[in-house]
Structure 1
Amino acid sequence: MDATTATPSLRRHSLDVVLRHAWRVDAFTASDVIAAIGVTRSTAIDVLDELTARRLLSEMPNARAVGEYSKGRPARRFAFRPDVGVVVGVDAGRGHLTTTVADLRGDTIATSRLTVDPERDSPERRRRAAEATVDATLTRARRRRSDIVALCVGVPAPVDRAGRSPVHHDRFWERMNPGFVDTFSSWSPVVRVENDATLAAVAEHARGDAVGCDDFIALLAGERFGAGIFVDGRLLRGKHGGAGETVAFDRVRGVGGAEGLAPRCVAAARAALASGALPADSPLRDLDPDRIDAKTVLDLAATGDAGALAIAREVGAALAGVVGIFGSLFDPDRVIVSGAIAEGADPIIRAAVDALPRAVDLPAPRILASTLGADIVSIGAVAAAVDAARDNALDLPLFAPTADRARA
């Protein structure tokens, strides 16, 4: 490789590593960059000046001015500018659309939520609804479309590397992902569309129980099972985006389908009520079968109700089967039960932990309840948008050097 090709490559590498350092820290000096990254002082200063010209950094009052330096030449101080643009995360669930506008570090500025009727859904209605929620949230955040650096949409469908979903026999995936990558291509210079369970895994890796973990499964477990899979520090996707699809559970003895923990709790409670298997003192005996929900069952299990605990053990055995499958296929360190159901899932998880050694030959993964709550897909969408913004910032016209922007 000759100098004419090596120099731009080295320059780009230096810009990238310094920007990544700046993105995750507060105010810093050239010496901090040198210590953290290992570039020379001249390179550090040169790169910091260019990133400042690109508006990604701002120069702060020097160290002497803020009382951190008393002798010699005062050090120049810099800070990343998270407010120079915004990212947008959209959780486009089956019955809702939740949009978050955040700064470039992922700190929320504004959020909007729209309930949609899945029975009256269509690709065109879903596109219009998504556009409306993003516009409304930008207005609430006092930002414009031109401020968007990256946008990520999470959908309950497989998504390939290009952001598109395969054709499904009943067109469900087409309704859930009606070409969002095209819908928002004129809104944002970077558009990322992902499966919702994949974004749950992104959220766990960024802010949850998988920070620093390279091998884990984020198991969305509410209405249906869906899995976001990290192996060797990388998200698994598959050719059509179906790496975490769970339709194969229909053929697994002891699991019996892709239904999540919530409908399993309800079905088990109704069966116990109908058969008379519930203890005489269980409050579940007094409930209308049509009004039983998972939260009630799990709340009673948490109080020690024997009937609800028996239901949790039954559902926990099925969860152990699910975890055993993922444990055998991917050898994760942990499986994180995610989504709104996680808040009350401890009785199910305890039962699954007891049953798990019989379901896997490898060392059993830990089973944890996520702490990120019902908004985990939104959290993951914002985190994925931040990742996309960071990965692409140096190539975006918004952050081109001043002279290049003037020529454009």
Structure 2
Amino acid sequence: MKTATPAMARAINDRLALDLLLERGPLTAPQLRTLTGLSRPTVSDLIERLVDGGLIEVTGECGEDRRGPKARLYGIVAGRAHVAGVDVRRVAVNVTVADITGATVGTAVRDLPGGTGGHVHPDAPGGLADRDVSGEPDLVALVESAVAAAAGGRALDTVVIGAPGLVDPRTGDLVSGNDVPGWGRGFLESVRRRLGVPVVLENEVNLAAVAEHRSGAAAGSDDFVLMWLDDGVGAAVVLDGRLRRGMSGGAGEIGLLDVNGATLCHVVDAQVARGLDVGELARRIAVGAFALVTVLDPGLVVLGGKTGRAGGDKLAGLVAERLRELSPAPTRVLGSTVAGNAILQGAVLTALDTARDKIFG
């Protein structure tokens, strides 16, 4: 059996301390010793190492005795790295930039044709100046503009983009096109060239599931399915705490399910849902949920998107009731509890995971 080398042990201890500082905020050396179970010399060495590496800094003092180093509070150097999450939807591009601690430092929005931003001046971002010769918006330019505005001059370490469509896990690009105005072949590579930083593309519902798992209705559940009920309909699958994409990125494409001659996408999308009473809507949603439960037995189905959030506990309860009639597998059904844009939050969280692994080790 192999044992950890001294260098590996130091790296493990450093990451343990950094994760505690991210989770709990500034801590003193004695607090780090208590939480990690490490010895006084080991904690002293790792603090010195992390300070010298520009990863942590003294942020203040704690307690009545302010004379010794034990009273110093150490925290993550927030500006050590910045990441961007990008939500590219059919109506707008939304961007959030966060520092390495996860604190938001900038946001930006660029409307696309059909968006809700109203009239756009031709020379403004999203206006005629950002359209190609075909009249389609220059989506790459809009993403670049929004990222630059949100970053406010800060260098970015990682950018994660969420968008509709199947993302091939092997290539990291869309398997086929989507209906986002201006999206075309080579979009991802063009964005990478323009931004000059690592850029990752992910299906938007998968990113919403990341947010739901970290801070929403699925927090604490290693197995669940997020049903996305919005202008588009789909699902994301999380099993054993890991996002499951499938061979081609198509895991969870429940919107294609046939429901009495029509696809599920067409019978429960946001526009149709607004015209249905809650009982009929629940019945239709349960058809899709039943397919997921039958194959995966996740134990938890979360209803997300505009329809899922608006329906809340009442809609979730009715879907659960219908599921009990259809399936013997016990399944909880909950409405999404992620506040704000779940896709954007999932993109930022995914970008932070990548940046922290690279910088913290």
TM-score interval, normalised by the smaller of the two chains: 0.7 to 0.9
Task: Show the 5 A alignment for 1:20-31.
Answer: 20-31=19-30
Q: What is the aligned counterpart of 2:188 among 158, 180, 186?
A: 180
- Does the alignment pair 1:89 with 2:96? no
Deviation at 1:198, TM superposition (A): 0.7
Structure 2 partner of 1:325: 291
Partner Cα separation in structure 2 for residue 2 and residue 343 of structure 1: 50
Partner Cα separation in structure 2 for residue 176 and residue 376 of structure 1: 25
Is the 1:164–1:177 Cα contact (8 Å) retained in structure 2? no
Which residue identity is paired with 2:150? T
Q: 1:235 to 1:182 in 2, by over 3 A?
A: farther
Partner Cα separation in structure 2 for residue 2 and residue 212 of structure 1: 32
Runs of 4+ that moved beyond 6 A: 70-73, 118-124
Q: 1:51 to 1:320 in 2, by over 3 A?
A: same
Deviation at 1:49, TM superposition (A): 1.4
Q: What is the aligned counterpart of 2:95 among 99, 103, 106?
A: 99
Q: What is the aligned counterpart of 1:368 among 301, 318, 334?
A: 334
Deviation at 1:154, TM superposition (A): 0.5
Partner Cα separation in structure 2 for residue 392 and residue 383 of structure 1: 14
Of all paired residues, the percent bearing the same amino acid is 27
Q: 1:188 to 1:230 in 2, by over 3 A?
A: farther
- Does the alignment pair 1:351 with 2:318? yes
Structure 2 partner of 1:14: 13
Q: 1:16 to 1:383 in 2, by over 3 A?
A: same
What do residues 217-265 of structure 1 show as CA deviations (whole Å, max 9, x unaligned)?
2221112222121111111112222212225413x55984333442332
Partner Cα separation in structure 1 for residue 88 and residue 114 of structure 2: 11
Partner Cα separation in structure 1 for residue 187 and residue 160 of structure 2: 13
The alignment's C-alpha RMSD in Å is 3.2
Higher mean alpha-carbon deviation, 240-249 vs 170-179, is at: 170-179
Q: What is the aligned counterpart of 1:132 among 131, 139, 145?
A: 145
Which residue identity is paired with 1:231? L
Structure 1 partner of 2:52: 53
Deviation at 1:199, TM superposition (A): 0.7
Q: 1:349 to 1:254 in 2, by over 3 A?
A: farther
Secondary structure class of the residue paired with 2:249: coil
Structure 2 partner of 1:198: 206
Give the gaps of 5 or more residues in structure 1: 266-293, 298-307, 396-408
Q: What is the aligned counterpart of 1:335 among 298, 301, 307?
A: 301
Deviation at 1:332, TM superposition (A): 1.8
Partner Cα separation in structure 1 for residue 191 and residue 205 of structure 2: 22
Is the 1:199–1:381 Cα contact (8 Å) retained in structure 2? yes
Partner Cα separation in structure 2 for residue 372 and residue 176 of structure 1: 31
Q: 1:188 to 1:78 in 2, by over 3 A?
A: farther
Secondary structure class of the residue paired with 1:28: coil
Partner Cα separation in structure 1 for residue 261 and residue 333 of structure 2: 18
Deviation at 1:131, TM superposition (A): 0.8
Structure 1 partner of 2:119: none
Is the 1:91–1:97 Cα contact (8 Å) retained in structure 2? yes
Higher mean alpha-carbon deviation, 120-129 vs 314-323, is at: 120-129
Is the 2:96–2:106 Cα contact (8 Å) retained in structure 1? yes
Q: What is the aligned counterpart of 2:218 among 210, 217, 236?
A: 210
Q: 1:73 to 1:264 in 2, by over 3 A?
A: closer
Q: 1:118 to 1:156 in 2, by over 3 A?
A: farther
Structure 2 partner of 1:151: 159
- Does the alignment pair 1:167 with 2:178? no
Deviation at 1:40, TM superposition (A): 2.8
Secondary structure class of the residue paired with 1:87: strand
Partner Cα separation in structure 1 for residue 24 and residue 11 of structure 2: 20
Give the gaps of 5 or more residues in structure 2: 116-130
Partner Cα separation in structure 2 for residue 106 and residue 232 of structure 1: 25
Higher mean alpha-carbon deviation, 350-359 vs 179-188, is at: 179-188
Q: 1:202 to 1:109 in 2, by over 3 A?
A: same
Secondary structure class of the residue paired with 1:320: helix
Deviation at 1:177, TM superposition (A): 8.1
Deviation at 1:203, TM superposition (A): 0.8
Partner Cα separation in structure 1 for residue 167 and residue 66 of structure 2: 56
Partner Cα separation in structure 1 for residue 216 and residue 96 of structure 2: 18
- Normalised by the length of structure 2, the TM-score is 0.82
Aligned residue-pair number: 341
- Normalised by the length of structure 1, the TM-score is 0.74
Task: Show the 5 A alignment for 1:236-255.
Answer: 236-250=244-258
Q: 1:324 to 1:176 in 2, by over 3 A?
A: farther
Is the 1:226–1:244 Cα contact (8 Å) retained in structure 2? yes
Structure 2 partner of 1:277: none
Partner Cα separation in structure 2 for residue 254 and residue 52 of structure 1: 63
